[in-house]
Amino acid sequence: MSSRLIVVAAVLALLAILFTFFNPQTLFAPPPVPGSKDHLHAAQVLHVTGAVGPESLVFDSRGEGPYTGVADGRILKWEGEERGWTEFAVTSSNRTDCVRPFAPELEHVCGRPLGLKFDKKSGDLYIADAYLGLKVVGPAGGLATQVVTEAEGQPFHFTNDMDISEDEDVIYFTDSSTIFQRRQFMLVLLSKDKTGRLMKYNKLTKEVTVLLRDLAFPNGVALSRDGSFLLVAETTTCKILRLWLGGPNAGQVDTFAVLPGFPDNVRRNSKGQFWVALHAKATPFAKWISSFPWLGNALPKVGFNFKQLHTSFAGWKPHATAIKLSDKGEILEVLEDCEGKTLKFISEVEERDGKLWIASVLMPFIGIYKV
């Protein structure tokens, strides 16, 4: 018997045992979160015309925007009802084939901008492009230029998110995996890949330093208001990690919060609290399978496709979950669209002037929710 057949047999046997003892209905259902408010369906929807997957969003220092990076590689700017979305910047110069809103096979050519942040001092927009590394574009937009593409001789494979410390002239950013690319993000989860890294880029010396390594899908990044610590979402483990940057614990990492699902971006509000967007709540199946990394690795090999794997992890009821954390890591509020009536698969929550601006890596719109 070939080793592939043995793996198939083992996978099927395990799944058969699982389905004998558990009701598939609950196995793949997004679990309820105590105290959550099912209010996000009331969000207003702002369509990203002709595009999908506004993953991160940001406003400039004049309060204009938001700006957002979409799946075809462009960074768009919202200029109000009358003008709509305009094209602000691109990360790749070779865009002849970048004509479809969603073409994952072309992401390495067209670029896939994820985390966005303006440098308040210079007005430059920094871009974490999943395929092209850390990039920057001036306040007038256009073609972004390269900032950094590797650390310690190892190229970035999945640059994801960043935050900027203006005081220290440094940028903290994540590379989610040294093996897998963004379009393979399910494999990062399934294989329990731990090759992610957190870096620091010094804008003056242009040096890049690896601060943390062996992370399991490091994703969103946010500095605390006083700059004493940095939060990093670790998607696979459903945790927010805290790296102390100053004080007696400088350099140490602890768990800031444990979440009921897979965190994407983390954004600080004006009160110093943090909003975390969950891509989805973790299903009981996702939790169960994480005790068998070999099984997670085997599922794509025995023919499960992306959609099936995504559904088994994220549940067959697409939904939206946003979590507000205090500066100590306590869960202050959970807002959901449990039925996914308006929002689902959200990737970022930005609080601004009494509104939550809610991005999504998969949907063709941004949600605006009045708090």
Show contacts with ligand NAG in window 70-129 (CB under 6 A).
94, 97, 109
Distance in angstroms (rounded) separating the CA atoms of residues 103 and 106: 6
Run of H or E including 114: strand 113-118
Q: Are 193 and 180 in contact (CB under 8 A)?
A: yes
Q: How far is the CB of 106 from ligand NAG (least distance, A)?
A: 6
The residue count for binding ligand NAG (CB under 6 A) is 3
Q: Which residues pair with 342 in a beta bridge?
A: none
Q: How far is the CB of 249 from ligand NAG (least distance, A)?
A: 46
Whichever of 111 and 113 has its CB closer to ligand NAG, that residue is 111
Which residues, including other chains, have CB under 8 Å from residue 49's CB and lie 6 or more apart? 84, 85
Long-range interactions of 146-149: CB distance < 8 A, separation 24+:
147/171, 147/201, 148/199, 148/201, 148/206, 148/208
Q: How far is the CB of 216 from ligand NAG (least distance, A)?
A: 32
Show contacts with ligand NAG in window 145-184 (CB under 6 A).
none
Distance in angstroms (rounded) separating the CA atoms of residues 197 and 213: 4
Whichever of 86 and 94 has its CB closer to ligand NAG, that residue is 94
Whichever of 64 and 97 has its CB closer to ligand NAG, that residue is 97
Long-range interactions of 289-297: CB distance < 8 A, separation 24+:
289/190, 290/192, 290/236, 292/14, 293/191, 293/192, 295/11, 295/14, 296/189, 296/190, 296/191, 296/192, 297/190, 297/191
Q: How far is the CB of 113 from ligand NAG (least distance, A)?
A: 17
Distance in angstroms (rounded) separating the CA atoms of residues 92 and 88: 13
Q: How far is the CB of 132 from ligand NAG (least distance, A)?
A: 12
29 CB-contact burial (10 Å; exposed 0-12 / middle 13-18 / buried 19+): middle
Whichever of 79 and 97 has its CB closer to ligand NAG, that residue is 97
Whichever of 94 and 205 has its CB closer to ligand NAG, that residue is 94
Whichever of 110 and 171 has its CB closer to ligand NAG, that residue is 110
Whichever of 94 and 145 has its CB closer to ligand NAG, that residue is 94
Q: How far is the CB of 108 from ligand NAG (least distance, A)?
A: 9
Q: How far is the CB of 72 from ligand NAG (least distance, A)?
A: 12
Contacts with ligand NAG, residue ranges (CB under 6 A): 94, 97, 109
